[in-house]
Amino acid sequence: MSDRTARTHREAKSRRGRVLLAWSAGLLSMILLAEGVTRVIENRLPEPADWFSPASARLVREMDQLQEQNLRSRVTIVGSSMPGRDLVPSALARGLADTSKITPSALDPSRETEAQTADPLIKNLSVGGGGQTTVVERWLLEEVVPRIHPQRIIWGVSSLDFNAARRKSTIDRYNKARQTRVGALADADQLMASFSALAKNRAALRDPYDMLKVVTGADLSTRLPDRSQPRAASFDLGYKPLPPAKLKKMQLREIAYARDVQLRGYSLGRDELDAFRRTLRRLKALDTEAAVVLMPVTQDYIDAHPHGARDFNAWRTRVTAVAKSEGVAVLDRTRSMPDSAFRDAEHLLVASARDFSLEVATELKRQGW
């Protein structure tokens, strides 16, 4: 090769290097600019899909705070929105407390904050919107127990939690969240999201319509605020009073939803039963005492199963047998409340929920809690 040819080759190589360097610098500048812009608008973006739901994300944040304070939960409630709303920590605290050691004001159910302060370590960590046993198994054993080390567990269950037809809308969604995915790619994603706003919020950034609204000043944040310690790591009651006509209309709508969506194709799932049994066994191995509460429902809810009471009673019999075979106390409260006590087919009115919680606590205390 002649000197001229060699020189030309070196110059071409140098030009390619400068072009590549310029492209790299430009790309890096664009990434850094996008990262900066994302950090500026991040507080107006929807909650990143790190956990099962925004409510789950808040519970994790609050449990982390409790863990930093070395606080251990005395009693933890888990399950779906049914125990989430119907097992009220303040009422359980009143029922389980030694009344000779607390002030009379703390026994007043109308004074929720004082009642919770009587025992701030009764937590309700139910997973609203999908508390099937397969979800509760992972949530309880991988997130709750390692953080707040419950001494006792109250697990509220319903037939809905064992419906195999709901599997894709619950455990599959739980498994796909960033912090609950498993594998090398999931680990890499979690690492990137830990320092990059772009990586953390990529789901929101992919929606051009929402991004346009955010850039023009809209606030689409779904992040739920943290709460004070007595209320932290608990399910919100969150019900607003409704006039009778609206309440009746909502109840009819909810029972139609239960029949046509939640209980459609209902079958008692083997995976759900196995997860239930595994979780109870794991709690026993951890020396964590557990009690299972079969949550109250209306007759309309029972009738909404494809085969009505036959499906419901088969579930009740099977779940009771599994729990008792593992040495776990079972409180069957499925028809313990009148239909008039319910806000809809599955959830009690606020006052009724407090009464129900007090009944559960009284029974547990009778059994030695």
Domain total for the chain?
2
Q: Is residue 187 part of a domain?
A: no
pLDDT at 268 over 80: yes
For the chain, the average pLDDT equals 87
Q: Return the pLDDT at 1.
A: 53
Q: What is the mean pLDDT of residues 103-120?
A: 45
The CATH code of the domain that includes 252 is: 3.40.50.1110
Q: Is residue 267 part of a domain?
A: yes
Q: What is the mean pLDDT of residues 353-361?
A: 96
Split at pLDDT 50, 70, 90, the class of 10 is: low
- The domain in which residue 12 lies consists of 3-44
Q: Return the pLDDT at 76.
A: 96
Q: Return the pLDDT at 319.
A: 98
Q: Are residues 74 and 36 in the same domain?
A: no
Q: Is residue 208 part of a domain?
A: no
Q: Return the pLDDT at 108.
A: 46
Those residues with Cβ within 8 angstroms of residue 353's Cβ, 6 or more apart along the chain or in another chain: 85, 86, 87, 88, 91, 237, 347
Q: In angstroms, what CA-CA distances link 13 with 20, 51, 92, 358?
A: 10, 49, 76, 80
Q: Are residues 18 and 140 in the same domain?
A: no
Q: Return the pLDDT at 105.
A: 39
Q: Are residues 81 and 131 in the same domain?
A: yes
Q: Return the pLDDT at 252.
A: 92
Q: Are residues 13 and 81 in the same domain?
A: no
Q: Which long-range contacts link 347-350 to residues 24+ away (Cβ below 8 Å)?
A: 347/81, 347/82, 347/85, 347/86, 348/85, 348/86, 348/296, 349/239, 350/237, 350/239
Q: Is residue 190 part of a domain?
A: no
Q: What is the mean pLDDT of residues 56-82?
A: 94
Q: Return the pLDDT at 7.
A: 66
Q: What is the mean pLDDT of residues 11-22?
A: 71
* DSSP secondary structure of 297-319: --HHHHHTSTTTHHHHHHHHHHH
Q: Are residues 11 and 105 in the same domain?
A: no
Per-residue pLDDT of 89-110, as tens digits, reads 999 999 998 544 433 333 444 4
Q: Are residues 241 and 345 in the same domain?
A: yes
Q: Is residue 200 part of a domain?
A: no
% of the chain at pLDDT higher than 70: 89
Min mean pLDDT across 21-35, 81-95, 119-133, 246-260 is at 21-35
Q: What is the mean pLDDT of residues 338-351?
A: 93
Q: What is the mean pLDDT of residues 127-156?
A: 94
Q: Return the pLDDT at 242.
A: 86
Angle at 233 between CA 56 and CA 221, to 5 degrees: 45
Q: Return the pLDDT at 151.
A: 95
Q: In angstroms, what CA-CA distances link 84 with 210, 253, 268, 282?
A: 31, 21, 22, 22
Q: Are residues 35 and 159 in the same domain?
A: no
Q: Return the pLDDT at 114.
A: 38
% of the chain at pLDDT higher than 90: 58
Q: Are residues 277 and 329 in the same domain?
A: yes
336 contacts 296 by C-beta, under 8 angstroms:
yes
Split at pLDDT 50, 70, 90, the class of 9 is: low
Min mean pLDDT across 176-180, 223-227, 249-253 is at 223-227
Q: Return the pLDDT at 144.
A: 97
88 contacts 354 by C-beta, under 8 angstroms:
yes
Q: Return the pLDDT at 6.
A: 63
Q: Are residues 32 and 160 in the same domain?
A: no
Per-residue pLDDT of 192-247, as tens digits, reads 888 888 888 888 888 888 888 888 888 988 888 888 877 889 988 767 888 989 98
